[in-house]
Structure formats: structure tokens, C-alpha cells
Amino acid sequence: MALTTIQVDVEVRDRLKAIADASHTSIKQVVARMAAQTLTPAELAERQTRGRAAMAANGVVIDDDPADPDRQAAHAFWAGLEGDAS
């Protein structure tokens, strides 16, 4: 596989180095792990679709009403999985 260079600020490079050192690995491996673990918007939408289908198969349907408590709970659940603090 061909290698390439990614330009980042010094602060980002230093943070990646600290993460790599703490994991006894390389910056290359840290970046590869981040890329593998981070979902694209399309992947996230597909997982949400599968999740909704699985919930519907178990009799749980999330209403489109933003005030629906089940919908709010589901959004909180997804936010937790995605690491979104909002």
C-alpha cells in the first residue's frame, strides 16, 4: 500500500504522539485506528436504519414527534453511542 503525508498543526502532531506513546504504538497506527472506528454519515445512517428496523421488529416504533419520550430516549441513546454530548 502506498504511503502519503498528512499535514497537521504541531499541537495535533504532539497529541497524536502522546496518544501513540501511551498505547506503545505509532502515530500511523493511532490514525488508522481512528479512521477505522469513526463512522461516515452514510455508515451512521445505515446503522440507524438497521437499529430502527430491529426496534420495530420488537414492537418499538419511534414516532416523528420530537416531544415523544421514546424518541427523546432514542436520541439520547444514539448520542451516547456516538459520543455526542449535545
pLDDT (tens digit per residue) in 54-85:
888 888 776 666 677 777 788 888 888 887 65
The model's pTM is: 0.57
Q: How far is CA 26 from the centre of its chain?
A: 22
Tell me how many domains the chain contains. 2
User: For the residues 26-46, what does the mean pLDDT come to?
Assistant: 95
Is residue 21 one of the residues assigned to a domain? Answer: yes
CB distance 63 to 71 below 8 Å: yes
Same domain, 35 and 45: no
Same domain, 33 and 47: no
Q: Between the ranges 17-21, 48-52, 60-64, where is the mean pLDDT highest?
A: 17-21
Segments in the chain forming alpha helices (H): 10-22, 27-37, 41-57, 69-82
Same domain, 78 and 56: yes
Is residue 3 one of the residues assigned to a domain? Answer: no
Say whether pLDDT at 29 is over 70. Answer: yes
Task: Give the cell for residue 83.
Answer: 459520543
